[in-house]
C-alpha cells in the first residue's frame, strides 16, 4: 500500500462563478463536471484526469483556502488498508464515501487539515452509487455497490 501521487486539490472560494471563469479562461483548465451552486471540477486534460482542481463554495472571512488534499492509491484494497491503519493509529476519520466512480476515505491530520485517500472504480456510464460507504465491507462488496447503482441509473 502506497500513495501514487497527489490527485487533486480542493479550494474554498467566495464566488464560484468568478473563480470558475478565471480557472477556465485564464489558467486554461476545462470543466469536467459540477454540482450546481456547490462545486466545480476542473482538469488540464479530462481524458487523462477527471479533475485536478475542485472549486468549493464556503470560504468566509479570512479563513483558509485549502479545502482538501487528495491522494490516489492503486486499489480499493489499498483504501481499506489505509482505513484500518488510520483506525489503529487513532487518526480522525471524517467520512467514507463514493462520489460515483471510486472509494474515498477522508481523514484529518493533527492540525485538522482534511485529506483523502481514494481509488478509482471503473463504472459503465461514468458514474455509479454516490453516498456513504461502510469500509468494514470487502473491496468486492464496495465495488459491486458502486457499479449496481450505475446499472439502475442506466435502466431508467
Mean pLDDT of 111-132: 89
> Residue ranges of the domains in the chain?
1-70, 73-156
CATH of 73-156, one of 3.30.410, 3.40.50, 3.30.310, 3.30.200: 3.30.310
How confident is the model at residue 153, as a pLDDT?
A: 47
Is the pLDDT at 43 greater than 50, yes or no? yes
Residue 24 DSSP SS3: helix
Cβ(97)–Cβ(32) below 8 Å: no
Matching residue, cell 486499489: 75
Residue 111 — very low, low, confident or very high, per pLDDT cuts 50/70/90?
low
- The owner of cell 492540525 is 111
Please indicate whether residue 77 or residue 6 has the higher confidence score (pLDDT).
77
Judge whether residue 17 has pLDDT over 90.
yes
Residue bearing the bigger pLDDT, 109 or 31: 31
- Specify the pLDDT at position 154: 44
Q: Give the global pTM.
A: 0.74
Superfamily of domain 1-70: 2,3-Dihydroxybiphenyl 1,2-Dioxygenase, domain 1 (3.10.180.10)
Amino acid at each position: 500500500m502506497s500513495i501514487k501521487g497527489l490527485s487533486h486539490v480542493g479550494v474554498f472560494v467566495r464566488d464560484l462563478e468568478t473563480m470558475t471563469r478565471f480557472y477556465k479562461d485564464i489558467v486554461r483548465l476545462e470543466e469536467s463536471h459540477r454540482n450546481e451552486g456547490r462545486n466545480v471540477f476542473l482538469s488540464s486534460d479530462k481524458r487523462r484526469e477527471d479533475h485536478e482542481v475542485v472549486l468549493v463554495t464556503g470560504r468566509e472571512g479570512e479563513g483558509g483556502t485549502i479545502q482538501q488534499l487528495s491522494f490516489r492509491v492503486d486499489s480499493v484494497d489499498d483504501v481499506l488498508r489505509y482505513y484500518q491503519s488510520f483506525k489503529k493509529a487513532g487518526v480522525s476519520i471524517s467520512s467514507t464515501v463514493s462520489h460515483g466512480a471510486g472509494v474515498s476515505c477522508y481523514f484529518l491530520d493533527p492540525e485538522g487539515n482534511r485529506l483523502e485517500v481514494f481509488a478509482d472504480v471503473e463504472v459503465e456510464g461514468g458514474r455509479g452509487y454516490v453516498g456513504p460507504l461502510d469500509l468494514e465491507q470487502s473491496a468486492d462488496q464496495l465495488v459491486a455497490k458502486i457499479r449496481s447503482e450505475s446499472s439502475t441509473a442506466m435502466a431508467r
